[in-house]
Amino acid sequence: MSRPALPWSRALRTLTLAGMASAVLAWSALAGAETAGDRAVEAAKKYAGKTITIVWEAGLQSLDPQKFSGPLWEKLTGVKVKVIEVPTAEMFTKIMQEYRAGTGAYDALNVIPAWMPDLVQAGALEQLDTYVDKFGFRDELQKIAPTYRDNQMKVNGKIYGFPDDGDVFVMYYRKDIFANAGLKKDFKAKFNYELAPPTTWKQFDEIGNFLTEKLKKEGVYGAAFFREAPYAMFMFEERFRNEGGRFFDANTMKATVNSPIGVKVLTEMRNENRFMPKGVEKFGFVDNLATFLKGESAMTISWPPYGRWAAGYLADEKALDWVPKSKIAGKVGYALPPGGHPELAAGFALSVASTSKQKEVAYLFIQWLNSEEISLQRTELPYSLRDPFRTSHYSAPSYLALWPDAKHYLATLKQASETGLLDLSLIQTDKYEEAIRQGIQRLWAGDDPKAILDEMASQWDAVTQKVGVDRQKAVYAGWAAKSGAYPK
């Protein structure tokens, strides 16, 4: 037999029910948002009218938030996005300067993963684990391609950035040249193996020399690379490790970059310039791209956008007016660079600035950007320079349909990501990198490779001493234990 409820208990029950109903409604609103992207949008709607500021690489890259993701986010949530364009070389400086000033001028950031230990150590990046759990992003993070997910997201086991760019070096070659019957025959006769994309640097040297000899009169060189120090630095890091080099003695933390392997790599790099276009020492990203797209080099190595542009993908896009029209569309093959372990050069991760005054909405924006659905759309933008980085991107039907050879392109990118090598990342990484860049410049200036490497090792040792041998040793041990640090 039930007793009649007392008035206060009825009120309490009503309140409890109302509370439960609100909670259910709120949860169902988020739960109704089935994807992490949707959840970010739903949660960000309460910030409508606010403006968040994001630091983005200057140039083509920033057209993504300016023309696509920024306006779309504003349409969905009412939150405006202000883009601060910063040249890559200055991004670290600007982020650190802002952090030091503590004005809260930046909310979200693009950071190169190799910088993350330094930025975290300085306190410039916000730890994201709490947000990831609060807004249910952990499952989708697991779907990022393992190389990027496992190596470019965390510092000391905590999440500080979402890997957002599948940067990796790929070899692009001219299928028509490599399939030329006359060249194949002559090459086989001279070297006793088939003319095919090189798998070792010795083969690269022989093929490059051979093709230049045969095709130079037609204005085609065997190969061309970007040789400016900031780019060649990555190539040196890649080749040195592919040849079996180790950056440091793990026990003493003494630099071992000046080993015979280092000398061999630098010597070969300089010798290769002989069969490349004159002045290749000054080639940057665009010079090398133009040379390849005009059909003036048979092989090159670069980041993934080369492959898309060489295929002529959206060549009429206004933002890509500056890219030379590809004369080699349909003739481009994709392969791993010699050695088979390409550099996962640079890359970008999305982070939240620790000095931001609106961290939650900044976080929601990067979760949405990085989500399965939106990230795929962004990697398909012809001008964004963001490359496939989620497992699903490599097999996305929409991507596969972009140009006839997209299937091979994506397969190569996937393979490259699986075997790729991480950029060196320690405390004060830039000081180590600066020594490599200076070494590369000296190489092109004609200095002795051994002397260059001895000086490089000496500079590295000095930095290590200054940071603290034991401290750096621990960081190096952590980095070297990662799957992409050295070829397995």
Partner 1 sequence: MASRGGTARFADRNFPLLLVAPAILILLLVGVFPLAYLVVASFQGITMTDNDKSFQGLVNYIQLFHDPRLWTSLLHTVLFTAIALPLELLLGLALAQLFLDKMPGRSVFVGLLVLPVVVSPIVAGATWSLLLDNRFGPVNQILGWVFGREMPLLWTINPELVYPAIILAEVWQWTPFMFILLLAALASVDRSQMEAAAIDGAGYWRTFFRIVLPAIWPVMAVAVLIRGLDLFRIFDVVWALTQGGPGMRTETISIFTYIKGFQQFEISYTAAVAFLVILLLSGLVMAALRRVELSR
Query: Does an H or E element contain 372, and which?
Result: helix 372-380
The span from the CA of 144 to the CA of 151, in Å, is 11
Query: Does an H or E element contain 129, and which?
Result: helix 129-134
Query: Given the complex with partner 1, which of 48 and 451 has the nearer CB atom?
Result: 451
Site for partner 1 in 76-105 (CB under 8 A): 92-93, 96-97, 100
The span from the CA of 347 to the CA of 334, in Å, is 20
Query: Given the complex with partner 1, which of 118 and 372 has the nearer CB atom?
Result: 118
Window of 141-149, 332-340, 391-399, 436-444 that interacts with partner 1 by CB under 8 A: 436-444
From candidates 431, 454, 469, 487, binder to partner 1 by CB under 8 A? 431
From candidates 134, 441, 454, 487, binder to partner 1 by CB under 8 A? 441
The residues facing 476 across adjacent strands are: none
> Is residue 381 within 8 Å of 199, Cβ to Cβ?
no
Least distance to partner 1, CB of residue 445, Å: 4
Which one-letter DSSP state was computed for residue 173?
E
Least distance to partner 1, CB of residue 105, Å: 17
Backbone angles phi, psi at 182, to 5 degrees: -60, -45
SS3 207: helix
Query: Given the complex with partner 1, which of 204 and 476 has the nearer CB atom?
Result: 476
For residue 436, give every residue at least 6 positions away whose Cβ sits within 8 Å of its Cβ, in sequence order, or none. Answer: 229, 233, 236, 237, 456
From candidates 3, 278, 318, 488, binder to partner 1 by CB under 8 A? 278
Query: Does an H or E element contain 349, and which?
Result: strand 349-352
Backbone angles phi, psi at 312, to 5 degrees: 80, 20
Least distance to partner 1, CB of residue 303, Å: 22
Q: Does 439 bind partner 1 (CB under 8 A)?
A: yes
Residue type, 180: N
Least distance to partner 1, CB of residue 467, Å: 9
Q: Does 427 bind partner 1 (CB under 8 A)?
A: yes
Q: Does 438 bind partner 1 (CB under 8 A)?
A: yes
Query: Given the complex with partner 1, which of 93 and 398 has the nearer CB atom?
Result: 93
Query: Given the complex with partner 1, which of 287 and 461 has the nearer CB atom?
Result: 287
Site for partner 1 in 51-70 (CB under 8 A): none
The residues facing 248 across adjacent strands are: 255
Residue 155 CB coordination number (10 Å): 20
The residues facing 111 across adjacent strands are: 349
Query: Given the complex with partner 1, which of 85 and 447 has the nearer CB atom?
Result: 447
Q: Does 397 bind partner 1 (CB under 8 A)?
A: no
Least distance to partner 1, CB of residue 106, Å: 17
Strands (DSSP E) contained in 141-251 are 154-155, 158-159, 162-163, 170-174
Angle between helices 7-32 and 36-44 (to 10 degrees): 130
Least distance to partner 1, CB of residue 141, Å: 27
CA atoms within 13 A on the CB side of 193: 11
For 56-92, the DSSP string reads EETTGGGHIIIIIHHHHHHHHHS-EEEEEEE-HHHHH
For residue 389, give every residue at least 6 positions away whose Cβ sits within 8 Å of its Cβ, in sequence order, or none. Answer: 144, 145, 148, 163, 164, 165, 166, 375, 379, 417
SS3 313: coil
For residue 13, give every residue at least 6 positions away whose Cβ sits within 8 Å of its Cβ, in sequence order, or none. Answer: 5
Q: Does 430 bind partner 1 (CB under 8 A)?
A: yes
From candidates 146, 267, 444, 461, binder to partner 1 by CB under 8 A? 444
Query: With contacts defined by CB under 8 A, how many residues of the chain interact with partner 1?
Result: 27
* Angle, CA of 109, 113 and 118, to the nearest 5°: 85
Backbone angles phi, psi at 253, to 5 degrees: 65, 15
Query: Given the complex with partner 1, which of 409 and 432 has the nearer CB atom?
Result: 432
Query: Given the complex with partner 1, which of 223 and 410 has the nearer CB atom?
Result: 223
Here's the x/- map for partner 1, 199-238, by CB under 8 A: it reads as ------------------------------x---------
From candidates 42, 64, 107, 118, binder to partner 1 by CB under 8 A? 118
Residue 380 CB coordination number (10 Å): 19
Least distance to partner 1, CB of residue 100, Å: 8
Q: Does 282 bind partner 1 (CB under 8 A)?
A: yes
Site for partner 1 in 314-373 (CB under 8 A): none
Least distance to partner 1, CB of residue 306, Å: 20
Query: Given the complex with partner 1, which of 79 and 424 has the nearer CB atom?
Result: 424
From candidates 150, 176, 281, 454, binder to partner 1 by CB under 8 A? 281
Least distance to partner 1, CB of residue 35, Å: 37
Window of 29-37, 57-65, 153-161, 275-283 that interacts with partner 1 by CB under 8 A: 275-283
Tokens of 139: 């499952």
Site for partner 1 in 242-261 (CB under 8 A): none
Residues near partner 1 (CB under 8 A): 92-93, 96-97, 100, 118, 121-122, 229, 278-279, 281-282, 287, 427-428, 430-431, 434, 438-439, 441-442, 444-447
